[in-house]
Amino acid sequence: MASEVDISNLALSRIGDEATVSSINPAEGSAQAEHCARFYPLARDSMLEAHGWRFATRRAVLAALSISTWTWSYAYAMPNGLIRVLAVLPPDAPGDADTQRYETETDGAGTPIIYTDQPSATLRYIARVTDTAKFSPLFVDALAWLLASYLAGTILKGDSGVKIATACLNAYQTAFSAAKVSDANQRNVRAQAAAPWIRGR
């Protein structure tokens, strides 16, 4: 299991920095730790948003809000820690094929809201996962490459930093693709067979 510190040190090693950090939350005081503390959450959340990771997928019953819904029938509060909406569903829906129309907005106080015509709606979404024990090895590998691409331009100045950042970003894209394929292979969702009277139409 890789910790935040392990991922940070792997990223540093990939840009050729020989320093190691012992803490990024809070940052231990070194320049490398400060940079990792600043960029690690951004890299992690960017990766979480980019794919419907199995370990980060959640389902929740939405809390209704008593506010103006404009052209929609219902307004709901978003769950805490939401990174990306996957589907707004009826309460008994077996999967995303039953997703309903929805729209997301933020009110004047900064509260995120989901509008939909679905009563008693449930939500499938990607949550902000901070526990690295939940990350797969391939997710960790890709995350370290993405973090390295952020760190390169800050720690390595000039053309060298740009060149290494680009190389790390290219490596990230390859690692990310492998992680996505592996994650997708952890599912076995079979399409439901249509009823005979439907097939006969």
3-class SS string, the chain: CCCHHHHHHHHHHHCCCCCCCCCECCECCCHHHHHHHHHHHHHHHHHHHCCCCHHHEEEEECEECCCCCCCCCEEEECCCCEEEEEEEECCCCCCHHHCCCEEEEECCCCCEEEEECCCCCEEEEEECCCCHHHCCHHHHHHHHHHHHHHHHHHHCCHHHHHHHHHHHHHHHHHHHHHHHHHHHCCCCCCCCCCCHHHHCC
**CA–CA dist 148, 197 (Å, integer):** 56
Same domain, 79 and 119: yes
Same domain, yes or no: 82 and 121: yes
Q: 112 and 16 in one domain?
A: no
Q: Is the pLDDT of residue 197 over 70?
A: no
Look at residue 200 and tell me if it is in a domain. no
Query: If pLDDT is split at 50, 70 and 90, which confidence band does 188 have?
Result: low
155 lies in which domain range? 4-51+130-184
Last residue within a domain, chosen from 111, 127, 143: 127
40 and 28 in one domain?
A: yes
**Segment 47-104, tens digit of pLDDT:** 999 999 999 999 999 999 998 888 999 999 999 999 999 999 999 898 888 999 999 9
**Is the pLDDT confidence value at 182 over 70?**
yes
- What confidence tens digit (pLDDT) does each residue in 115-132 have? 999 999 999 999 999 999
Residue 143 has pLDDT above 50, yes or no: yes
If asked whether residues 102 and 159 sit together in one domain, one would say no
Compute and round to an integer the Cα radius of gyration of the chain: 21
In a domain, 190, yes or no: no
Please report whether residue 116 resides in a domain: yes
The whole-angstrom separation of Cα 84 and Cα 57 is 10
Q: Are residues 123 and 61 in the same domain?
A: yes
Statement to judge: residues 93 and 40 lie in one domain: no
- What is the average pLDDT value for the chain, to the nearest integer? 91
Statement to judge: residues 83 and 98 lie in one domain: yes
Question: Residues of the chain with pLDDT > 90: what percent?
Answer: 80
Q: Which string of b and e fits 10-33 if b means at least 16 CB within 10 Å?
A: bbbebbebeeebeebeebeeeebb
What is the strand order of the sheet 63-64 is part of?
63-64, 74-77, 112-116, 102-106
Is the domain of 104 the same as that of 158?
no
**How many independent structural domains does the chain possess?**
2
Residue bearing the bigger pLDDT, 190 or 168: 168
Q: Are residues 97 and 67 in the same domain?
A: yes
Same-domain status, 119 and 136: no
Is the residue at 189 inside a domain?
Answer: no
The length of the chain, given as a count of residues: 201
Region 156-162: mean pLDDT is 90
In a domain, 201, yes or no: no
